[in-house]
Amino acid sequence: MKFSLNVDHVATLRNARGENQPDPITYALMAEQSGVDGIVVHLREDRRHVSDRDLRLLRELITTKLDLEMAAEKSIIHIACETQPELATLVPEKRQELTTEGGLNVLDNLEKIKTTIHELHEANIPVSLFIESDINQIDASLDVGADFIEIHTGKYANAPTEEDMLEELEKIKTAAKHAKRIGLGVNAGHGLNYINIKEFINVEEIDEVSIGQAVIARSVFVGVEQAVKEMIYLINQKK
């Protein structure tokens, strides 16, 4: 299982003071040195964390791969085509939300998503759709031409009891198996941390996890290198 690091919240912290530090580019480069397989950023329409400049600099400087999370909106699609990330992950975006709260509803937005995927494919950018672990959404993702899905792990991460958590994990396993069977690549993320990753890594079909908040938070206490290496260690403990 690979591990891509989302550095959005390094930018959130920088933006809190409107100054230059902490710099998400430096953070991303340090994380690469510590072994992450890729860097993820979400260029939101309101630019609340990374900026266009951050994206340009990341594109120039990182040596692993860039996963650009984005809404299916014209101006952002244009930036994505120019930036040429190794992967574009389409996510729903509401201005009021604290973070990306739910998965994309592919079934209700077939044409819009299909057109967006087509435009990104024309620019040779593979596309992933951030969806819930729902078989119908997975089938719709294949129908609209997605290459990957990213399973939203928020319900697993925020489950109130262990029983609920294991139930969510079963749903994720079933969804991941189905997606793999029909030929989609499978990523996963949202709310994964140093505790809940331990069960999660046994979902065989997941190619890559995308983690941000937990690793950035831990790095405040132990530094970037150790926070990244601890997560890599846990991911590699697969039974």
* DSSP string across 164-194: HHHHHHHHHHHHHHHHHHTT-EEEEESS--T
Q: How far is the CB of 154 from ligand PXP (least distance, A)?
A: 8
Q: Is 190 in the site for ligand PXP (CB under 6 A)?
A: yes
Between the CA of residue 192 and those of 113, 198, 222, what are the distances in Å?
26, 10, 18
Asked about 190 being catalytic, the answer comes back as: yes
Q: How far is the CB of 195 from ligand PXP (least distance, A)?
A: 13
Query: Pick the catalytic residue: 69, 119, 132, 205?
Result: 69
Asked about 42 being catalytic, the answer comes back as: yes
3-state helix, strand, coil in the chain (%, to 5): 50, 15, 35
Separation of alpha carbons 95 and 41, rounded Å = 17
- Between residues 9 and 178, which has the closer beta carbon with respect to ligand PXP? 9
Separation of alpha carbons 118 and 9, rounded Å = 30
Tokens for 101, please give them.
């709260």
Among 100, 116, 141, 219, binds ligand PXP (CB under 6 A): 100
Among 8, 54, 119, 168, binds ligand PXP (CB under 6 A): 8
Q: Which residues are near ligand PXP by CB under 6 A?
A: 6, 8, 42, 69, 89, 91, 99-100, 130, 150, 189-192, 210-214
Catalytic sites, residue numbers: 42, 69, 190
